[in-house]
């Protein structure tokens, strides 16, 4: 067998395998223990958007100084995030303390991932034409 041909086929096979694999990205959203209500809602909208796109989300609570004493505040925030996202996500990793950061990993549920991606055979419907914008003269 020709070595050049063999090399070409192996490279082509490797490219096809890379093209077919599904790469899951991990997005991160950082919060502080003293987060205000509106800031929490804004950050949660970002988390929700990532999950609807089918990506995993790592929600991190960063502690500084004396905040380390009150880790239960951070746990309550993460529980609140998990509870708010329970219809579109599942908790892949429960809250874990790592250094000065407390984090939780959420993965999109199968229902949310299926809703985000339209089926290959479906064609989106065109927008309805406004009344008064008739093309006939």
16 in a structural domain: no
What distance in Å separates the CA atoms of residue 109 and residue 52, rounded to the nearest whole number?
A: 9
Q: Is the pTM of this model over 0.75?
A: no
- In terms of Cα–Cα distance, which of 121, 124, 103, 92 is closest to 59? 103
Answer whether residue 15 is part of any domain. Answer: no
If one counts the domains in the chain, the total is: 1
- What are the pLDDT tens digits along the chain (137 aa)? 789 999 999 999 999 888 877 777 889 999 999 999 999 999 999 999 999 988 999 999 999 999 999 999 999 999 999 999 999 999 999 999 999 999 999 999 876 556 655 555 555 555 566 566 555 65
Domain carrying residue 69: 23-115
CATH number at residue 71: 3.30.110.10
Beginning with the edge strand found earlier in the chain, give each strand of the sheet holding 101-108 in spatial order: 26-31, 56-62, 101-108, 89-98
Tell whether 124 is covered by a domain.
no
pLDDT at residue 21 in the model: 76
């Amino acid at each position: 067998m020709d070595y050049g041909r063999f090399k070409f086929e192996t490279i082509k096979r490797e490219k096809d395998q890379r093209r077919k694999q599904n790469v899951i990205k991990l997005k991160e959203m950082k919060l502080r223990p003293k987060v205000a209500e509106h800031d929490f809602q804004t950050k949660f909208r970002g988390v929700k958007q990532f999950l609807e796109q089918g990506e995993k989300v790592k929600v991190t609570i960063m502690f500084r100084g004396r905040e380390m004493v009150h880790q239960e505040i951070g746990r309550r925030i993460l529980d609140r995030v998990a509870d708010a996202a329970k219809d579109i996500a599942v908790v892949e990793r429960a809250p874990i303390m790592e250094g000065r950061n407390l984090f939780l990993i959420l993965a999109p549920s199968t229902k949310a991932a299926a809703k985000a991606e339209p089926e290959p055979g479906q064609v989106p419907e065109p927008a309805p034409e406004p009344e008064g914008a008739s093309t006939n003269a």
